[in-house]
Structure 1
Amino acid sequence: MLRRYKDFSIDVGLHRGSFIAAPRAEQQRWVVHRAVDELAEQLRHLDVIAPEFVDGTTRGEINAEWHGSEADYHDGSLIIEGQQVMQDWEAALMRRMAERVGAGHGDILEIGFGLGLSATFIEEQGVRSHTIVEFNDQVLEVAKAWRARRPDSDIELIQGNWQSVMPTLGDFDGIFWDAFPTSEDEFDQYVLRDSTVAEAFFSEAAAHLRPGGVFTYYTNERDSLSRRHQRSLLRYFSSFAVEVVDGLVPPADCQYWWTDRMTVVTATR
């Protein structure tokens, strides 16, 4: 199949006769044509929005053990191992996610403390308890100081990465995930290969949510979800809702996001 458009072409060849072996040839043609149409539409859309990106900068590699690395807080950013882990332009995004995960005012698990934006917004929801998992030693000290300013809140801080900590935890009414990859292997898998940076955590979130509990996470999706992303969600959750937070202003040198909006997902167990 060769499709030629004004600005690009799409050439699809099926190398195996039994590939997409629907009962009838017209069924195979229909689904393949649909997939090509979706790709073409996505390319056209990217052509429209790409000129609006901020310039961005290229990140360096992660070369040290993350938990003991220096956490540099300045100018509204958290930088670890040369990585822009979080910046304060995310505040509107973090607030919306916190509102969704804390709407039931129950027991909340948060993965990654960062600048403490989301943690603060979660506390504003009046939740019953708030468990925060943080891997970096210095960020954990900042989180301890943040907790000390809230003596009336039930806040538990746990040091470690989510991969090792999750088996030790119980169940929650809401889970909030915004963990940064802590090695080049994690960056390669979670950012470059998975459908979304949080995909590796989906099974853990579903396993630790009470019935009807909700899960939200940093998506790296601008204005919709890919089919692959949706299928991954529906493997673990009964339903999900998607909304867009716009008006975001990442700085010109941002390493990890370049546009003025991002989707927020609320997945329900």
Structure 2
Amino acid sequence: MRRTFTDFTVEVDMKRPDFLRAKGNGQRNLLLGRAVAEFASDLHHLEAIQQEFVDGASRPLIRSDWSSSGADYSDSSQLLIEGQQVMQDWEHPLMHKLAVNACESGGDILEVGFGMGISAGYVQDCGVRSHTIIEINEGVAERFAAWRAERPGADIRLAFGGWQDVIGGLGQFDGILYDTYPTNEDEFVKTLGPKVVTLAANFFPAAAAHLKPGGIFSYYTNEIDSLSRAHQRALLEHFSSFKVELVTGLQPPADCTYWWADRMAAVTAYK
């Protein structure tokens, strides 16, 4: 199938004669036509909004596993680990949206990743019953301890380690907020490669398993303005429904190595 649009041509070259054959050529052409039209729509939309992006900067390689690497908070506007920009303070609007969504029903909240404590602060503002945070980096865990000491009356707990290692013993939650960054280069390739719809997809099974009935899973995706069909299918394998909200007006600096647009999609999935 070959479709020519104003700015480009899309061609699908079938390598197997029985691929997507359905019951006949009419059905096959209908399915192919839908896929091509969606792809073309994505390209047109990206062309329309890409002028609003900041330049961004190249991400350095993660040269070692950073669970024991120092956490650099010397610049109060960002967190650096092994030279990687892990979090910056322009993320406040996004972290606020994720926290409010995760805490919609109050109760017991699990947060995966502490970072600069931005979303953790917003979770506490929601007045939740309990707040458990998973963190793998020792330096960040020290920062958490100081943050926790400022809230002596709150039920806040730390589960130290990788989420894959500790979540099995944490029980059930009313809401889960997921915001992590790969801790080594191999994990980066596996979790943010071309076949992965979003970093959070690796956490979908665990989130579903550790949410109470009706529980809420909150995370963001770098798809900017919507969710792909592959992303939606992955969500519906584990959750009953979901909603997508755009957080706009973000202002990442031009030298940000992990983000380059003025918007991000916040996803809320319901068990």
- AA at the equivalent of 1:212: G
Note the C-alpha offset of 1:126. Answer: 0.5
Q: Can you list the C-alpha shifts for 1:42-67, whole angstroms capped at 9, x where unaligned?
A: 11111111121101110111111211
2:28 corresponds in structure 1 to 28
Cα pair 1:97 1:216 within 8 Å, conserved? yes
* Range moving further from structure 2, 42-51 or 108-117: 42-51
Q: Over aligned residues, Cα RMSD in angstroms?
A: 0.9
1:167 corresponds in structure 2 to 168
* Range moving further from structure 2, 129-138 or 58-67: 58-67
1:64 corresponds in structure 2 to 64
Count of residues in correspondence between the two structures: 269
Cα pair 1:222 1:259 within 8 Å, conserved? yes
2:176 alignment partner, SS class: strand
1:127 corresponds in structure 2 to 128
Of 160, 185, 207, 1:205 maps to 207
Cα pair 1:101 1:216 within 8 Å, conserved? yes
Equivalent positions of 1:150-189 (< 5 A) are 150-189=151-190
1:39 and 1:221 map into 2 onto residues whose CA distance is: 14
1:7 alignment partner, SS class: coil
2:139 and 2:131 map into 1 onto residues whose CA distance is: 20
Q: Can you list the C-alpha shifts for 1:193-212, whole angstroms capped at 9, x where unaligned?
A: 31001110000000000000
1:70 and 1:30 map into 2 onto residues whose CA distance is: 55
* TM-score, normalised relative to structure 1: 0.98
Cα pair 1:59 1:82 within 8 Å, conserved? no
Q: Please, which runs of 5 or more residues in structure 2 have no aligned partner?
A: none
- AA at the equivalent of 1:147: R
2:218 corresponds in structure 1 to 216
1:236 alignment partner, SS class: coil
Note the C-alpha offset of 1:5. Answer: 2.0
Cα pair 1:78 1:85 within 8 Å, conserved? yes
Note the C-alpha offset of 1:218. Answer: 2.5
1:181 and 1:248 map into 2 onto residues whose CA distance is: 22
- AA at the equivalent of 2:52: E
* Range moving further from structure 2, 80-89 or 130-139: 80-89
* Range moving further from structure 2, 230-239 or 49-58: 49-58
Q: Can you list the C-alpha shifts for 1:238-268, whole angstroms capped at 9, x where unaligned?
A: 0001111111111111111111111111100
Q: Please, which runs of 5 or more residues in structure 1 have no aligned partner?
A: none
1:120 alignment partner, SS class: helix
Q: Report whether the alignment pairs 1:110 with 2:105.
A: no
1:7 and 1:83 map into 2 onto residues whose CA distance is: 37
Note the C-alpha offset of 1:18. Answer: 1.5
2:219 and 2:46 map into 1 onto residues whose CA distance is: 23
Stretches of 4+ aligned residues off by more than 6 angstroms: none
- AA at the equivalent of 2:201: E
2:235 corresponds in structure 1 to 233
* TM-score, normalised relative to structure 2: 0.97
- AA at the equivalent of 2:146: A
State percent identity of aligned pairs.
54
Note the C-alpha offset of 1:93. Answer: 0.6
